[in-house]
Chain A
Amino acid sequence: MCAFQAPTSEQASVSSEPVVNDFAFSVATSNGSGSQTSNNVLVQTLFDMGIPVNGKNLFPSNIKGLPTWYTIRASKDGYTARRATTEIVVAYNGATVAEDVAALPPGGVCIIRDDVAKIAPKRDDITVYTVPVKDLMDQADVPSAFAKRVENMTYVGVVAQLFDIPLDMIRTSLVKNFGGKEKPAMMNFAVIQLAYDYFKDNVEKVDPFRFEKMDLTKGKILITGNEAGALGAIFGGVHVVAWYPITPSTSLVDTIISYKHLRKDPETGKSTIAVVQAEDELAAAGMIIGAGFAGARSMTATSGPGISLMSEFAGLAYFAEIPCVIWDITRMGPSTGLPTRTSQGDILFTHYLGHGDTRQFCLLPASPEEAFEFGWRALDLAEQLQSPIFVISDLDLGMNNWMSEPFEYPDQPIQRGKVLDAEQLQQFIADHGKWGRYWDVDGDGVGYRTIPGTDHPMAAYFTRGTGHDEMAVYSENSETWLENMHRIKVKEETGRKLLPQPIEDYDSSKSIGIISFGTNEPAIIEARDWLAREGVETNCMRVRALPLADSVLEFVKKHERIYVVENNFDGQLNQIMRIDFAEHMANVKSLTLGDGLPMAARWVVNSILEHEGK
């Protein structure tokens, strides 16, 4: 399908029996040509038809001109992982047509622009439908300034006609896509209609693929993880957002900006949330740490290169114990890497971010629902644990549209953690004889803090990244240093229990377990069904936070063999497990990919079958 595709040993075989609601197609266009609207409309319409669907954008780091692919998968069984191969390709880009056509399985379908068709390789085992794009556009009443951007609507009309998508539903989602603006929507729709009619009147359908209405998306929403995380932060009471634009995190803060109106003070019309575009990621980190110190809820969103820049500040916030939330929408590294490709390659670095003995709290969302939940929960946890909380998402979750249940309203009041106001401080001193910022009276490693502005002569303390005692006074004393580090370790244990616990699917009759995290979830769900059909029954655990919950080791102990499945090159979750309990890792096998693409079930299945000797 495209240059980034992992080689596969098998092809999806296509029968001549009708194939309904269970196939995938790939749309090959060039970047900046307006194809995103066409693709969004197709995904939205299939969703509106009640068919489980996903759309994955595989795009280049470029504004205009380089090849881009969009894959759409419909699955009557509700599988939402990316498919390794697609039965249908929309070949609208001459630069990639050779590989696009070659990637089709026998019996596949190629919908191709007439000018691209001239240079396409010939295959006699696929069905080819040629779209006379220029002729259709000549007939369309589109101002020449828009013609190039609208011509991708031709394949929407063709796909609708060939695979039975009702035109009126296309029209509805088109209008929605244009934010309700009828005029541009209708200009696009006219082109869709022309292509639809042309195929209806002139082309005979000979392939077996068809869509049919279902009712499996009822009540659901289509949303990206970045939008979900942003809404989580808005409903989590974030006060200060500071950021520096970086793909693929930008849409998270963009979404916060577009929902700022939800946080307007009704009386004055003024804002209860500040969003500052910083001069770089260092400043963004500094701002959220300053805000956290002063008692506000603060967050930033970035990606790997930004995390690298923030490491010194992350160490400061860890050691000075300042609440703040840092989202990492992971893209492929090392270095600038593949800036528009997905990865799970930041978890090891982020978990230990900062020099010296740091161990950061990290949340690992797998779906928009979890991105929303962790969006508000991370702000609670940051104040409860008085520490940075990293939310490690990725490009696949962040930027692609996912089907989701509507988000549940937070099921608990906002948790501000241990903050003493003037009166409470007075009471604290009366009860305990003194107060110290880092004094662990409760034995959970978390002290009581005061914030600037607290009108009490004893409220002030000096925040610093240098050695300090429990009264926050500078100290270079070795014993004091160790006491402080031991207390922070106690806090780590508190966090281990407070953070979201793993989701486990366990049945004692099964001896093989899969451990994974984040956006591998859809691939693993599908792979487990597939493996079961091949006679390999599996249990599964999805880790949702670092440091690892105690139940991870329990899960390992309960199985003869464990596969740790992750979408990075070095097996980073496997390494973290090894750091925590190396002596129990003899039967643990690390399965790693890290090819820049969302994980497909086939790779999981093939990898496990190979190790199982099947």
Chain B
Amino acid sequence: MAKENTLGLSRNDYKGRKSTLCPGCGHDSISNQIISTAYDLGLEQHKVIKMSGIGCSSKTPAYFLGRSHGFNALHGRMPSVATGALLANRELKAVAVSGDGDTGSIGMGQFKHVIRRNVPFVYIIENNGVYGLTKGQFSATADEGQELKYYGRNDLPAIDLALEAIISGATFVARSFSGDAKQVQSLLQAAIAHKGTAILDIISPCVTFNNNDSSTKSYSYGKEHEIPLHEIQVLAPDYVEGKEEITIGDYAEGEIIEVDMHDGTIVRLKKLDRDHDPRNRMQAISVLEEAQREQLFLTGLIYYEEPRPTVQENENLIEAPLATISEAAMRPSAEKLAEVMASFR
């Protein structure tokens, strides 16, 4: 019998339809990490919505969490659609998938504004530096000086979406590599627990158009150059110290950073070679600047801060989903209308 999670569901129950992406696509491994994470956490799929824009990455919500409603919206406009859905029903958790074209070019405005509004959802950018569906044009995250078969040399500087996210006021910004299953899953868990917009920029190689060794978004580059900023362990809200073994390994006092998430989840970061505290905004920006300058591929939780009020809190919305409140709560009385009419006499 297949293994079951706390809801009595197997991992298969969290799958979606068969992927139609190219075999070996980095996006498919991210879908798999989403499936594993949701299964491990015992997520109730009917309380999840899957949102996306347009592009290879945006097709993937069809390939995971088959029991969740999904919306494959317009190119670059997923953030606004997700915002509306989460205003309609604040009990929903949204897992959104976008790409570097969808976010970094056509969708840059909505990307920044959804962060500014602090819409609480997981925003995954499956970043491969290239437009796949239109056969391999450079995206805005492509490396400066990179060569592509048909489009020649890219003369423009790359946009760093993690940096853009921090500057826009994001309270959770992480970067990972689709080949690093363990780290992607840990970051996903933490992002799901976050009460605000959680940006996950995941480098995800395009096996067809952008997987040559010179590209910083290829498998070989990712595997050889990934420098995790820390080891990550995510402890569930019901984790009890002492009863469960800490698997992050041996550590000395001061080498661990504990980040308390709003829902009781604890993210434990074990310092590696670099001394990076994700709670320091200026340091986070410096780390990204340095990485860009020296072509380093730094991964992990780059920036975290205690989230600002969410869009629903700022709107002072009732806790219950607006979508299903009673007619009595939706339509003021005839007496109220009469009062309003009298004021226009």
A residues near B (Cβ < 8 Å) are 220-223, 227, 231, 234-237, 239-240, 242, 259, 262-263, 265, 268, 270-276, 278-280, 282-298, 312-313, 316, 406-407, 409-410, 413-414, 450-457, 459-466, 473-474
Contacts and interface: CB of A to CB of B under 8 A. Distances in A.
A592 B180 CA distance: 66
A365 B331 CA distance: 21
A222 B62 CA distance: 53
Contacts of A291: 84-85, 87-88, 323
Of the candidates A222, A223, A282, A453, the one having the most CB atoms from chain B within 10 angstroms of its own CB is A453
Interface stretch (B75-83, B123-131, B209-217, B239-247): B75-83
B66 A296 contact: no
A290 B84 contact: yes
Contacts of B319: 268, 270
A38 B136 CA distance: 64
A312 B75 CA distance: 10
Going nearest first, the 8 A-B pairs with the smallest beta carbon separation are A290-B84, A286-B80, A237-B330, A295-B323, A296-B88, A294-B88, A287-B84, A290-B81
A309 B296 CA distance: 40
Contacts of B69: 293, 450-452, 459-463
Interface residues of B, number: 61
B238 interface: no
B72 interface: yes
Nearest to A228: B344
29 contacts: A221-B344, A235-B337, A239-B325, A239-B330, A268-B319, A271-B316, A271-B317, A276-B117, A278-B113, A279-B109, A279-B110, A280-B109, A286-B77, A290-B81, A292-B84, A294-B49, A295-B88, A295-B324, A313-B77, A453-B324, A455-B44, A457-B67, A459-B67, A461-B69, A462-B61, A462-B62, A463-B70, A464-B72, A466-B72
Contacts of B92: 294, 452-453
Max count, chain A CB within 10 A of own CB: residue among B46, B88, B319, B322: B88
A240 B88 contact: yes
Nearest to A464: B72
B88 A406 contact: no
B321 interface: yes
A462 B70 contact: yes
B252 interface: no
A213 to B, nearest CB: 16
Interface string B303-333: 0000000011001111101111101011110
A83 B222 CA distance: 74
A103 to B, nearest CB: 32
A130 B86 CA distance: 62
A414 B84 CA distance: 21
Nearest to A451: B323
B309 to A, nearest CB: 13
A242 B81 CA distance: 11
Contact of B45 (A259, A409, A460): A460
B61 A279 contact: no
A283 B17 CA distance: 29
Interface residues of chain B: helix, strand, loop or mixed (majority): helix
Interface in B220-253: none
B88 A268 contact: no
Contacts, number: 225
B340 A231 contact: yes
A289 B317 contact: no
Nearest to A262: B332
A290 B113 contact: no
B73 interface: yes
B149 interface: no
Nearest to B78: A286
Contacts of B72: 462-466
A101 to B, nearest CB: 36
A414 B331 contact: yes
A240 B71 contact: no
B135 interface: no
Given A242-B84, A273-B322, 20 more contacts: A231-B337, A237-B330, A268-B319, A270-B319, A276-B315, A279-B113, A280-B109, A282-B110, A283-B110, A287-B83, A287-B87, A290-B83, A294-B323, A295-B323, A414-B327, A450-B69, A452-B46, A459-B46, A461-B69, A462-B69
B332 A271 contact: no
Contacts of A290: 51, 71, 73, 80-88
B282 interface: no
Contact of A240 (B51, B82, B87, B316): B87
B77 A296 contact: no
Given A234-B332, A406-B341, A452-B49, A295 B80 contact: no
Given A239-B88, A287-B81, A453-B46, A313 B337 contact: no
Nearest to A408: B337
B80 A452 contact: no
B3 interface: no
B12 interface: no
B89 interface: yes
A609 to B, nearest CB: 38
Nearest to B345: A221
A410 B331 contact: yes
Contact of A294 (B89, B311, B325): B89
Contacts of B47: 452-453
A460 B62 CA distance: 11
A222 B323 contact: no
Contacts of A236: 330-331
B334 interface: yes
B158 interface: no
B83 to A, nearest CB: 5
A280 B45 CA distance: 32
A278 B344 CA distance: 30
B74 interface: yes
A453 B51 CA distance: 14
Contacts of A239: 87-88, 322-323, 325, 330
Contact of B71 (A259, A275, A293): A293
Contact of B329 (A272, A283, A298, A453): A272
A289 B67 CA distance: 21
Contacts of A278: 80, 113
Contacts of A285: 80
Nearest to A416: B327
A282 B85 CA distance: 15
A256 to B, nearest CB: 13
